[in-house]
Amino acid sequence: MIIMLKPNSEEEKIQKLIEQIEKKGLHVQRNNGVDYTVLALIGDTAGYNRSSLEVNEIVHKIIRVQEPFKRANRLFHPHNTIIKIGNHTVGGDEFMVIAGPCSVESEEQIVGVAKQVKASGAQYLRGGAFKPRTSPYSFQGLEEEGLKLLQIAKKETGLPIVSEILSHDKIGLFMDNVDIIQVGARNMQNFQLLKELGKVDKPIMLKRGMVATIEEWLMSAEYIMSEGNPNVILCERGIRTFENFTRNTLDISAIPVVKRLSHLPVIVDPSHAGGKWWLVEPLAKASVVAGADGIVIEVHPNPEEAWSDGGQSLKPKKFDRLMREIEVLARTESKTLLPKKEVKSW
Amino acid sequence: MIIMLKPNSEEEKIQKLIEQIEKKGLHVQRNNGVDYTVLALIGDTAGYNRSSLEVNEIVHKIIRVQEPFKRANRLFHPHNTIIKIGNHTVGGDEFMVIAGPCSVESEEQIVGVAKQVKASGAQYLRGGAFKPRTSPYSFQGLEEEGLKLLQIAKKETGLPIVSEILSHDKIGLFMDNVDIIQVGARNMQNFQLLKELGKVDKPIMLKRGMVATIEEWLMSAEYIMSEGNPNVILCERGIRTFENFTRNTLDISAIPVVKRLSHLPVIVDPSHAGGKWWLVEPLAKASVVAGADGIVIEVHPNPEEAWSDGGQSLKPKKFDRLMREIEVLARTESKTLLPKKEVKSW
Amino acid sequence: MIIMLKPNSEEEKIQKLIEQIEKKGLHVQRNNGVDYTVLALIGDTAGYNRSSLEVNEIVHKIIRVQEPFKRANRLFHPHNTIIKIGNHTVGGDEFMVIAGPCSVESEEQIVGVAKQVKASGAQYLRGGAFKPRTSPYSFQGLEEEGLKLLQIAKKETGLPIVSEILSHDKIGLFMDNVDIIQVGARNMQNFQLLKELGKVDKPIMLKRGMVATIEEWLMSAEYIMSEGNPNVILCERGIRTFENFTRNTLDISAIPVVKRLSHLPVIVDPSHAGGKWWLVEPLAKASVVAGADGIVIEVHPNPEEAWSDGGQSLKPKKFDRLMREIEVLARTESKTLLPKKEVKSW
Amino acid sequence: MIIMLKPNSEEEKIQKLIEQIEKKGLHVQRNNGVDYTVLALIGDTAGYNRSSLEVNEIVHKIIRVQEPFKRANRLFHPHNTIIKIGNHTVGGDEFMVIAGPCSVESEEQIVGVAKQVKASGAQYLRGGAFKPRTSPYSFQGLEEEGLKLLQIAKKETGLPIVSEILSHDKIGLFMDNVDIIQVGARNMQNFQLLKELGKVDKPIMLKRGMVATIEEWLMSAEYIMSEGNPNVILCERGIRTFENFTRNTLDISAIPVVKRLSHLPVIVDPSHAGGKWWLVEPLAKASVVAGADGIVIEVHPNPEEAWSDGGQSLKPKKFDRLMREIEVLARTESKTLLPKKEVKSW
């Protein structure tokens, strides 16, 4: 941490400030510049309460130097984290593809989609059972019943299940029924939920909050990791900006930035980022070559009848075509995809 | 809802679309413009799944006309909602002042601050017991013990208590110990929490999310109201923008906009908006004359030693001076403040 | 400037970097922290090309400490700048009120408005002659003819003229016809225009760009000042954010922040910030008590017929009512307004 | 345009409003909804002064339906615009690569880079002669001398020249010396410059403003086109958001969105978007597969010594490696790149 003092600060007050900081176990190195005096705080400042320093009348500005995340920080863990899920891995050579409908609607729907996306090469099935909706008048999900239908689809296809949790009192239910627990953008800073998820060992897919900086996102990963669960998969899904032609603005740069700052796997959700089905293909492809470890795609057999998010869902046929393009691009990044299993007539 | 069709859409497809919409109980009025054909949907479109229409190949654009909130909408409830809390009210002639420390730290601290802010004219005491912190390594609040200390402060001063809840399983505890339950910015779209708070009758202070539009904020109020609790107090606390000299950007316009769109009371938290103690005074004063129904101010006896948010807290003496200015300004808005109770030496 | 090195950087490369920096005349102070080595650059780093350092393979992060503006910086010029314009001043005890229509439309219109706003206590007349419009199909202003009509209005009322310049080749024309030259938000970084305006001695009203940080805004003031013109009046007019109910988001905090960072006067344009006439009153009042040195208000005799921006213009009667409120609030800030000159029937 | 009236508006006032609109040559279709009456305005509303309607007391909300751009609109011009520049084209099958240093510094530098980027397959040379810099204390470009050096590089390599213009009084100079005139982000709404560029026939590369919506960007293209110059190349270069780890946030979705809304070519500048050299490669690759018609890359022989933007420049060797990757990806999009000309030792 760097503290820049006001010009002409009294020497006595500077000494008092230095003492106050050193009392907390930090070492202070002092630089007398031309216009400013600067104090550099040496030691572990991650837990230091910076806010209290700002009240000091001789302080002009405080600048943090150290990143506040540790376990998620690549500086102290240079190798990529590779997470094992069933027969698959994420963060290594395999390119992760999660596909499925926004909401689980019926057994027929979810089993049907599961078979189709598997045939196209997806390794995981997604489906919402508990839905966080902006309006109380919108469909809120089939809840527990939805998780049961996902289990049926898993039995039929073998695909591991990804589904979103909304509150910590449902963790037991999710431990029994899903393979990757998703924390949605709106819950990225639901710290109680994060802490409880840190106490289990399931992989957690942590979506970036709509307004979260990359640093805050990594701090939320840190919440989970600091409780003991190292299996965090980051998922970029677009941030909110002034541009509102698109639902959100996909922050494609977040992929290489996260890769540089952290060792955790990072995947992309182009469906929520763009909010329109015709944006899914270009955004998915861009994510692959920007270095993502995987993608999450909304697929629905009949988007015009979908109970939620129909406008951003791909039909199985379009998804299959996209998978063929992804396959080619993943190879240019030295990543592999599951081979297409069977020829189907859509 | 307005649907704008692509130029030269086939008549047959237009007819099919109109039928599809009318099947859902809406009436369609058709306008053949020069370049575009436009369909106006008449009826209650609030629950209509707009996303599914976007998939239709002849649809160029969909424009929502109706506001999606009903109970919070001033159009259908023209008079201001006035909420009673103990001997006080908010939303009417009384100007609400909530003051107290960011975190409850000890009995001495909270009781001391309570007496001081009461003496200066505050009608409510705030204090955090459960703290949502960005870093897992920061102080997380005294939790249940903190609520007990707030109760002691209430007994000593008579000030009703305002404190933040983090998850719905603590609602019972908060019902017993606080007078206004605060939902923080990070939980503004924790829909399960909102629904459960809709089932009690305590006043809820709903902070605006850092990235929430005014409409989304009102939709979150709608979640609470739609379950039966009409006592929602909105609290503007700054939004996230590209400007990062300040912690957030206080959206001062949100006050008159909310007043126009809704009948609910709206107050302002200048401490979190600015993030620096020297911004509290100008932002608090601005809020009064922009039409706010009240303010929330962080006050700490010794900000340099505060366990959290010291940098944005006022000392009791500065708070007292601010209250004298607020008193004058509130009068110009035909609002009244509690008179200063006693002369104190700070 | 602070340079944070990567952990375990080779000593030889560190030495080479230090030499490279010292060759440019800066002194380097080195701090060996636990995890990082940090270099503090002492000396005048304002002109130092930081970008080139980022390429160095051992550099982890570069942090600027010094503000890049000098002449506009309060640190080196602690007293408020007070600018004289005719019989008036801005930046001192007088509260500046600039009023008038968005566009000059006719002699009758501009002279009529000038008389009305003067009667209500405005000290300056604004009126657009060259209009920067988003659409090439919108009215672009009366141009030179507009400036002549403003001169007629000045002769009739004595009010100094404020009008916007769009390009540096018109500076001669503006020197002859206006008293304060306005640089609009879209030209805040038209550096050639700024440099040329630095060579004259007229007061320049510099609007903040829609997306400019406060620092960038002060850097644009620095452009004008570095060429020799110290008479810069800053004007906050709202920034672009994700909230689009309002045209822009008035950054009310910018007023106290600018006052702290700089000695220049700062005024507010609530008409452009809100974009709706019913927002002008609350935003104008908020600006006064937040510490602004003045306001700019759009006034039009008949907003329904205005050639531009009618929706955000006040009728003279409403403007007069607002002025009575402003008068009271300015007094609470120890600022004075011109007294109301004459009773008029609107 | 859709006008939503307040509930219970008086019939007489509605009739008056309809008459007022019809007087301007538009047809009004009226829809009496359950809660609201809605007026649909049929006819050419592009030039209609919407702001004046907002003042009407019975108006609740106005919603624009029609896009305000015409010549740039794909609806009325379904085929891609293909622009010819020397022996090359942009907007068709050829993938455009513009490369070169941020600033022209010397003959040796610019001729050297030109040869290197040509050898790697770039078809155009960029180089800044007039530089818009945030600080008046930074290097401002070699100006006219810089353009002369670019001409020398063109003579040596045959590469057409791309350089940025800052003001309309230099158009003659640029007509003589460059092949594509660049309008920078800060000048995207310098409407006088745009109008004058509309009167020449050179291709204009129009960068998106840091805070411009896609619609505003297309409106700026419309300014150029409405004066008669159809040769506009759009260039996405990142927008400003709350995330400031990166210099700007590359809006990768803008590529498919522009392709859908407009027929103009769109290219990407990953160097300015990311602001760090290690982001250029992933962002450039992402742009290719998202459908861009080309890229602009900053290349400098010795970024550590560059006079500007060194931190985001690639060394020629890294640029060459990137070009080999781009070649493969462009082919997957059915676009071709110039073949690599000669083997060089870097």
Residues D107-116 pLDDT 10s: 999 999 999 9
Q: Identify the CATH assignment for B74-332 out of 3.40.50.10800, 3.20.20.70, 1.10.760.10, 1.10.3720.10.
A: 3.20.20.70
Q: How far apart are CA B126 and CA B106, in angstroms?
A: 14
Query: In a structure prediction context, what are the per-residue pLDDT tens digits for chain B, which is 346 residues long?
Result: 888 888 788 999 999 999 988 888 888 888 777 667 888 887 777 667 777 788 788 888 888 777 788 899 998 889 999 999 988 999 999 999 999 999 999 999 999 999 999 999 999 999 999 988 888 888 889 999 999 999 999 999 999 999 999 999 999 999 999 999 999 999 999 999 999 999 999 999 999 999 899 999 999 999 999 999 999 999 999 999 999 889 899 999 999 999 999 999 999 999 999 888 999 999 999 999 999 999 999 999 988 888 877 788 999 999 999 999 999 999 999 999 865 554 444 4
Identify the pLDDT of residue C311.
83
pLDDT at D308 > cutoff 50: yes
A210 touches chain B (CB under 8 A): yes
CB pair distance less than 8 Å for D222 and C190: no
pLDDT digits (tens, 9 = 90+) for D61-99: 888 777 888 899 998 889 999 999 988 999 999 999 999
- Regions in chain C scoring below 70 on pLDDT: 34-35, 46-47, 338-346
Position A272 scores a pLDDT of 92
Q: Cβ–Cβ of D213/A286 closer than 8 Å?
A: no
Answer yes or no: is pLDDT of A340 > 60. no
What is the per-residue pLDDT across D152-198, written as a single tens digit (0 to 9) for each? 999 999 999 999 999 999 999 999 999 999 999 999 999 999 999 99
* pLDDT higher than 60, residue A95: yes
pLDDT tens digits for range D222-270: 999 999 999 999 999 999 999 988 989 999 999 999 999 999 999 999 9
Fold annotation for A2-63: Alpha-Beta Plaits (3.30.70)
Among partner residues C55, C186, C276, which is closest to D189 by beta-carbon distance? C186
Task: Report the pLDDT value the prediction gives residue C184, as an integer from 0 to 100.
Answer: 96
Mean pLDDT of the region D300-311: 83
Confidence of residue D331 (pLDDT cuts 50, 70, 90): very high
Q: Which residues of D touch A284 (CB under 8 A)?
A: none
**Looking at chain C, which runs of residues are DSSP E strands?**
2-5, 27-32, 37-42, 59-63, 83-85, 88-90, 96-100, 124-126, 161-165, 180-183, 204-207, 232-236, 266-268, 294-298
Residue B189: list chain A partners with CB under 8 A.
Answer: 132, 134, 186
The pLDDT of residue D343 is 41
Mutate to test the interface with B, among C236, C289, C334 (most CBs of B within 10 A): C289
Q: Which of C213, C217, C252, C312 to mutate to test the interface with B (most CBs of B within 10 A)?
A: C252
The answer to whether ipTM exceeds 0.95 is: no
Q: What is the 3-state secondary structure (H, E, C) of chain B?
A: CEEEECCCCCHHHHHHHHHHHHCCCCEEEEEECCCCEEEEEECCCCCCCHHHHCCCCCEEEEECCCCCCCCCEHHHCCCCCCEEECCEEECCCECEEEEECCECCCHHHHHHHHHHHHHHCCCEEECECCCCCCCCCCCCCCCHHHHHHHHHHHHHHCCCEEEEECCHHHHHHHHHHCCEEEECHHHCCCHHHHHHHCCCCCCEEEECCCCCCHHHHHHHHHHHHHCCCCCEEEEECCECCCCCCCCCECECCHHHHHHHHECCCEEECHHHHHCCHHHHHHHHHHHHHCCCCEEEEEECCCHHHCCCCHHHCECHHHHHHHHHHHHHHHHHCCCECCCCCCCCCC
Chain D residues with CB under 8 Å of C309 CB are 51
Phi/psi of residue A221, nearest 5 degrees: -60, -40
Is the CB of residue D64 less than 8 Å away from at least one CB of chain A?
Answer: no
Nearest to B33 among D36, D42, D63 (CB): D42
In chain A, what residues touch C34 (CB-CB under 8 Å)?
Answer: 42-44
Of the residues D63, D216, D243, D322, the best mutation for testing chain A's interface (the one with the most A CB atoms within 10 Å of its CB) is D243
A76 near D CB under 8 A: no
Q: From the CB of residue A128, how many other CB atoms can be counted at a distance below 10 Å?
A: 28
Q: What is the mean pLDDT of chain A?
A: 91
Model confidence, pTM = 0.90
Question: Would you place residue A312 in the very low, low, confident or very high pLDDT band (cuts 50, 70, 90)?
Answer: confident
CB atoms A54 and B311 under 8 Å: yes
Sorted by where each begins, the domain ranges of chain A are: 2-63, 74-332
Using the beta-carbon criterion (under 8 Å), do D191 and C226 form an inter-chain contact? no
Question: Residue A37 — very low, low, confident or very high, per pLDDT cuts 50/70/90?
Answer: confident
Query: For position D333, what pLDDT does the model report?
Result: 96
Q: How many CB atoms lie within 10 A of CB C334?
A: 8
Instruction: For chain C, say whether A244 makes contact (Cβ under 8 Å).
Output: yes
- How many residue pairs from chains A and D have C-beta atoms closer than 8 A? 110
Residue A50's pLDDT is 74
